[in-house]
Chains A and B, each alone.
Chain A
Amino acid sequence: MTESGFEARLARGLREMADDGTRPFDARAVAEAVAATRRGPFDLGPWLATRGGRRWFAFAAAALLLAGLLGLALALAGSRSPRPADTGRLAFVRNGDIWIANLDGTGARILVARDPKEAESLGYMGVQWSPDGSRLAAAIGPNGSGQAGEPRRIAILTVAGTPIGTFNVEAAGDVGPEFAWSADGNHLAVLAPEATGGPLWLLDREGRLERTLEIPRSYRADMPMTDFWFSWSPDSRSIAVGGCPCSSEDNRAWIIAVDGSGAREIRTPGKGNALFVAWSPDGTRLAIGSGKWLGPVAPDAGPGELWVMNVDGGSARRLATSVGPLFVSGWSPDGTWIAYGGPAEGSDGMLGLVLVRADGSREPVLVGAVGQGTVRWTEHERLVYLVEPNRPCCAGSENPGSAYAALKDLQALGSVMVLDPAGGPPTLVADRVDPYAVFDLSKPPTKAYQLTPDACASAAVVYSGRVAGSFLTTIGAIRAMALFAQGDPWPGDPADRAAALCYIDVQVATVSAPPGSGTSPPILARDILVVIDGQPGINLMKAGPRDNVPVVAP
């Protein structure tokens, strides 16, 4: 075969590509490592070459197979197989900064640092993954040392920490805000306790206000101690809201339609305030934790009760009682278990992490200490929760109406732990975690990604060339540069192929302001490049809402 001119260039390019992938190696070490894979003292090759050897081998193999099958049957009958590893990633707040880590504790790194231009007291207060894992919602606020009335914001970030949008939370008190993504990831609900404005805001994926949902006025008394919690329905159409007027007992919770068409109440049979609500995975039931509200760490806030009922309020069943309110944290993925935090019997005055079967078929089981109400289930039904060492459940609060005040006074640092309810001690995932900040666990990715580390850098080179070429062709006196490229995994690729979004800041300057002139060209736009299977520049697209977002110059 002879090579044409193009083939010669192709061959040269391929060889360069191949050369770039070679690395120094130690031939002796490789050979010795390889040799160790065979030629041991039990090399049966020569023996197996004989007819007798083969016959004995067949007999031994059959015997081993039978023994293996017997052992497998016994193992299946006697015990459960070990749970596979979980793939979710933890996002948490440490010293006001957002961190991420793998669930085995590896890969911990700071994702977004608190803005040093902000007031000293402001930092991140909590973080939540969007359901598709492509972005984060985070609350910014007084970071444990602020006062009521200090500003609160919700920030939407890419998983690389790039800001997408922000929403200012009006008139929040010294708690919260509460916020959560809808199951379909299209909305973020934000609820600011003690807010004087609309108490429940619905934001879109970019952090823009879509709608304000009103919690019924009669229920939401304008009392300073008013507090609410909420839970999205699995179909993303409704939000269940629990809380209290905190001046009296109110056993009502509300199911509010997201489209603004109204709200309906459901009542627990108990007398305590219906505080914490959690929708079952199949959307048919609600778990409600109740208490006589004086604050979650106040000693006389009981009796606390855990109720499970249908979403129409029927078939209510009390699963647990306690001396204090029960922070219902969520259902196991299969709907079998409910995890809650609360002062449990046997927890020696600490807040305990308790599991109870949703059908009430077993007594609640205390599985560990817990610091705050947030508990997440992994896809393989391990529990992820936050503990604060030596924090008594019912002391240290100067203001019994504010759990937040109690926590910040104690200045305790938390640790995120993972626990297999089937047994074994909990393992540490992250320490020095801000105890008052909500952490979150990403759902396992539904798509397979394989991105080369330089996918966005390569894309930026191509992009830069094309943009520069385009400008030079059409205008002639403008120089364009792609200055910044940063990639996010993009799970929305319909072809189930590896994909990344690369954000590229385009800086355009006239020739009269050449590089080095001391004038930094303004960044005009942030464009988004879709890189699929590491192929840069294949799909170049503008993402409308994200175009021309304000960008802080590097």
Chain B
Amino acid sequence: MAEHLFGMRDTLAADDIASVVVARAASGDVRALEQIVSRYHDDMTRVCVVVCGGDADLAQDAVQSAWPIVWRKLDTLREAARLRPWLLTVAANEARQLLRQRRRRVVVELDVADLGSSRHDPADSIRSVDLRAAVRRLDPEERTLLALRYVAGFDSFELGSAMGMSPSGVRSRLERLTARLRRELDDD
């Protein structure tokens, strides 16, 4: 049963499935953990990529660091229905942690870039590059807010819980942040 728990939507409610999987994983069932990894690893990576300002390698490192934490603390998760926001929050926190460590590390390596590898319309590339540049300029806290809101789809309650803020505080911070990005990107 464990191998197909997330696929059994026709016989069990989603919350029930999550509860079973989480309970099994928390009790040490590796196959149940595999189910969770299979379902959420990509989501965690995507959040971490934005938190890390587009650094995919760092994001992968963050997710790798997050999984053992998840494994150790899974039995502290009170509501299995909160599994996804909990996982994404753990991953985002790990990404921020790694960013702090990385800033203290010395890395001097830069390869010659190849301009000819651009695959898209230059105008799209410029917009994309501008957005990515604007995101990189944000601090990790702000990038976490954006990642959890726009990539993970958190609502203001989930955001508040993840960021340690009230839902209204999160909303106003997000509004200020998007307004700033809008100005920087000249998007009228």
Contact = CB atoms under 8 A, between A and B. Distances in A.
A426 interface: no
A431 B147 CA distance: 48
Contact of A21 (B54, B122, B155): B54
- Chain B interface: which size bin? 35 or more
B26 to A, nearest CB: 11
Interface in A3-45: 4, 6-7, 9-11, 13-23, 25, 27-28, 30-32, 34-35, 37-39
A14 B146 contact: yes
Given A452-B54, A461-B122, A18 B151 contact: yes
Given A7-B150, A22-B45, A535-B137, A448 B34 contact: no
A449 B30 CA distance: 40
B113 A489 contact: no
B96 interface: no
Which of B42, B108, B114 lies at the interface centre, i.e. has the most chain A CB atoms within 10 A of its CB?
B108
Contacts of A160: 110, 112
Which of A11, A15, A452 lies at the interface centre, i.e. has the most chain B CB atoms within 10 A of its CB?
A452
Contact of B71 (A13, A34, A133, A450): A34
A286 interface: no
A489 B108 contact: yes
B179 to A, nearest CB: 9
A210 interface: no
Nearest to A491: B108
B77 interface: no
A89 B108 CA distance: 10
Contacts of A535: 133, 136-137
Contacts of B126: 461-462, 465
A18 B132 contact: no
Contacts of A1: 149, 155-156, 171, 174
Interface string B84-122: 000000000000000000111111111111110110001
Given A448-B105, A448-B106, A11 B54 contact: no
A108 B109 CA distance: 12
B17 interface: no
Given A14-B147, A37-B71, A536-B129, A6 B107 contact: no
A222 B21 CA distance: 89
B33 A23 contact: no
A224 interface: no
A444 B174 CA distance: 41
Given A10-B150, A461-B129, A535-B133, A18 B50 contact: yes
B46 A22 contact: yes
Contacts of B131: 10, 13-14, 17
A142 interface: no
A456 interface: yes
A487 B115 CA distance: 12
B55 A19 contact: no
- Chain A interface: which size bin? 35 or more
B68 A450 contact: no
B166 interface: no
B104 to A, nearest CB: 7
B59 interface: yes
Interface string B35-58: 111100110011111101111100
A427 interface: no
Contact of A464 (B105, B122, B151, B187): B122
A460 interface: yes
A20 B113 contact: no
B67 A30 contact: yes
B103 A7 contact: no
A3 to B, nearest CB: 8
Given A10-B131, A448-B104, A533 B137 contact: yes
Interface stretch (A201-209, A227-235, A404-412, A477-485): A477-485
Interface of B: 28, 30-31, 33-38, 41-42, 45-50, 52-56, 59-60, 67-68, 70-72, 102-115, 117-118, 122-123, 125-133, 135-137, 146-147, 149-151, 155-156, 171, 174, 178, 181-182, 187
Given A37-B71, A452-B54, 7 more contacts: A15-B151, A21-B59, A27-B38, A449-B108, A453-B111, A465-B126, A489-B108
16 contacts: A1-B174, A14-B150, A21-B60, A23-B45, A23-B60, A25-B37, A27-B34, A27-B38, A34-B70, A35-B33, A37-B68, A455-B110, A489-B108, A533-B136, A534-B53, A538-B137
